[in-house]
Amino acid sequence: MTSKTLERKKKLRSKRKLRVRGKLFGTSTKPRVSIFRSNKYLYAQAIDDVSQKTLACVDGKKMGLKNNKEDAQNIAKAFAEELKKIGIQEIIYDRNGYLYHGVVAAFAESLRTNGIVL
């Protein structure tokens, strides 16, 4: 891709991120789950915006899993178990400006199948 195209993609993602983030707010009983996709790995964390603390997190790099749909499902399964351990059943899903497609959608669907309400 050319640098002009990359700049445009970054700009559009940041606009989506701000638009989505303005509508979401997590609490300790219903935290905001924010995901981050790098080119190789997937990361997620549950955030309490009231007290500004991270309640739970999962790191695809430490688990040795890549950024693809199958590994996103495994990461989400481990994350759902961690959330259940601390007593969280409901979350607010923050896709962090990414389009709800592919890995981002697979992560959310796997959370749902593992008993977490989005």
What are 36-76's pLDDT values in tens digits?
999 999 999 999 999 999 999 999 999 999 999 999 999 99
118 assigned to some structural domain: no
pLDDT number for residue 93: 93
CATH of the domain at 16: 3.30.420.100
> Kind of pairing, strands 42-48 and 53-59?
antiparallel
Split into its structural domains, the chain has a count of 1
pLDDT number for residue 105: 97
Its domain, for residue 105, covers: 3-113
Q: pLDDT band for position 86 (50/70/90)?
A: very high
Percent of the chain with pLDDT over 70: 100
Residues 47 and 5: their CA atoms lie apart, in Å, by 32
Q: Which residues contact 19 (CB under 8 A, 6 or more apart)?
A: none
* Residues present in the chain in total: 118
60 assigned to some structural domain: yes
